[in-house]
Structure 1
């Protein structure tokens, strides 16, 4: 299954290059990176469950 998204931030900031994860019932099932115009494409196996998207927290800086 292919899931396509377009991300637009109200602030106008870009998320280009941000790693995202597609979750099904809280478990990561696919990963993707935000493209130049906010486009994201996930390729995942078909199945039932609640879907959500989160930013891969590995990009967050601490300190």
Structure 2
């Protein structure tokens, strides 16, 4: 199963290259990074549980 996301920041900053983790019930089950257009795709097995995405924003410049 593929889960596709489009990520945009209100500030307009790019998330290109940002590492993402897909969590199921708090456990990382997949990793990917954001492309130049803000898209990311996770390929995972279907299963029960609550899903969440963790974005490592430490790569973004501080303003």
Normalised to the residue count of structure 2, the TM-score between the two structures is 0.86
Partner of 1:46: 46
Equivalent residue number for residue 15 of structure 2: 15
Unaligned runs of 5+ in 2: none
**TM-score of the pair, normalised by structure 1:** 0.86
**What CA distance in whole angstroms lies between the structure 2 residues aligned with 1:38 and 1:26?**
24
In 2, the alpha carbon distance for the partners of 1:18 and 1:46 equals 24
Quote the residue 1:37 is aligned against: 37
Shift of 1:2: 0.3
Q: Distance in 1 between matches of 2:58 and 2:8?
A: 19
